[in-house]
Amino acid sequence: MSDEREFANIYESEDTTHFSVVDKDGNMVSLTYTLENGYGSRIVAEGGGYLLNNEMGDFNAVPGVTNRDGQIGTPPNLIAPEKRMLSSMSPTIVAQDGRPLMAIGSPGGRTIINTTMQLILNVIDHGMNIAEAMEAGRIHHQWLPDVTSMEERSFSPDTINLYEAMGHETRVRGRQGSAMGVYHDRENGLFMGGADSRVGDSGAAGY
Ligand code: DON
């Protein structure tokens, strides 16, 4: 298999990616795109020139088995014809007064929903700009397992201790997601781009 660095100037992630776009009139696109991990199924559609994903892995592969890794063995996600598998991908547009205010999203499997939610909370409720919202520390909890993971170097030991004293199990781990977003500042009419510094292939650009 070729290394994509032979063709591109920068290393590009081999799995899920997200981009957000705004045009001069304020129309927005929010798109999360996935092959799943590691080049998807590694099969190229003949004559098409594109890789097929392996999202089939997001179906409930082992009925009835619910484990601490987050596999949930419920019947609604069983494989069947014409069904679509469970997905956490959450390309999101937040609107205000019927017009797009911001477009956001992220890769990260089951952490995507929490990453996206925290971006919205950071901007709308905590008054951060889109870039600050991207950089703020992230947490994740997905019911099963009953553990809250927190990004390393983002939360003080005091905060973690207080949270654990309330009975929560915590786990500190590396980065969560790779968010990309655009924001329309209604006060000055400017469009702002936010690119997550957690990864090396992010970027914000205006044309
Ligand atoms: O559809 C989903 O929720 C997952 N297959 C997405 C995978 C993903 O985000 C992996 N990227 N880091």
Report the sign of the C-alpha dihedral through residues 71, 75, 79, 84, in that order: negative
- Residue 69 and residue 134 share a domain: no
- Whether ligand 1 lies within 6 angstroms of the CB of 199 is answered as no
Ligand 1 near 179 CB (within 6 A): no
Cβ of 181 below 6 Å from ligand 1: no
For ligand 1, whether the C-beta of 105 sits within 6 Å is no
* pLDDT band of 14, cuts 50, 70, 90: low
Count of the separate structural domains present in the chain: 2
Q: Work out which ligand 1 atom sits closest to the CA atom of 88.
A: 3
Residues 96 and 17 in one domain: yes
131 and 47 in a common domain: no
- Is 1 a member of any domain? no
Q: Does one domain contain both 82 and 181?
A: no
Domain limit, last residue, from 46, 68, 87:
87
How far, in Å, from the CA of 137 to the mean position of ligand 1?
20
Last residue of one domain, picked from the residues 87, 104, 120: 87
**28 shares its domain with 39:** no
Residue 34 beta carbon below 6 angstroms from any ligand 1 atom: yes
Judge whether 7 lies within some domain.
Answer: no
Question: 164: which residues sit within 8 A by CB, 6+ positions away?
Answer: 170
Residue 66, in any domain of the structure: yes
pLDDT of residue 68: 63
Residues 133 and 204 in one domain: yes
Average pLDDT in the 11-39 region?
Answer: 88
Same domain, 182 and 117: yes
Same domain, 188 and 129: yes
Which residues neighbour 9 within 8 Å (Cβ) at sequence distance 6 or greater? Answer: none
Tokens coding 133 = 């919202």
CA of 36 to the centre of ligand 1 (A): 5
More confident residue, 89 or 10: 89
Strand order in the sheet with 148-151: 139-140, 148-151, 170-173
| Residues 42 and 131 both lie in one domain | no
Per-residue pLDDT for 9 more than 80? no
User: Does residue 115 carry a catalytic annotation?
Assistant: no
In a shared domain, residues 16 and 100? yes
At 200, the pLDDT band (50, 70, 90 cuts) reads confident
Residue range(s) defining the domain that contains residue 83: 35-87
37-77 pLDDT tens trace:
778 898 999 999 999 998 888 888 787 777 666 677 778 88
- Residue 146 located in a structural domain: no
Q: Name the percent of the chain lying above pLDDT 90.
A: 66
User: Would residue 150 count as lying in a domain?
Assistant: no
Specify whether 22 is located in the same domain as 73: no
C-alpha–C-alpha distance, residues 196 and 106, integer Å:
9
Query: What CATH number should be reported for the domain holding residue 134?
Result: 3.60.20.40
Is 107 among the domain residues?
yes
> Are 106 and 52 in a shared domain?
no
The SS3 assignment for 123 reads helix
Where does the pLDDT of residue 199 fall: very low under 50, low under 70, confident under 90, or very high at 90 and above? confident
Q: How far is the CA of 16 from the centre of ligand 1 (A)?
A: 6
The answer to whether residue 190 sits within a structural domain is yes
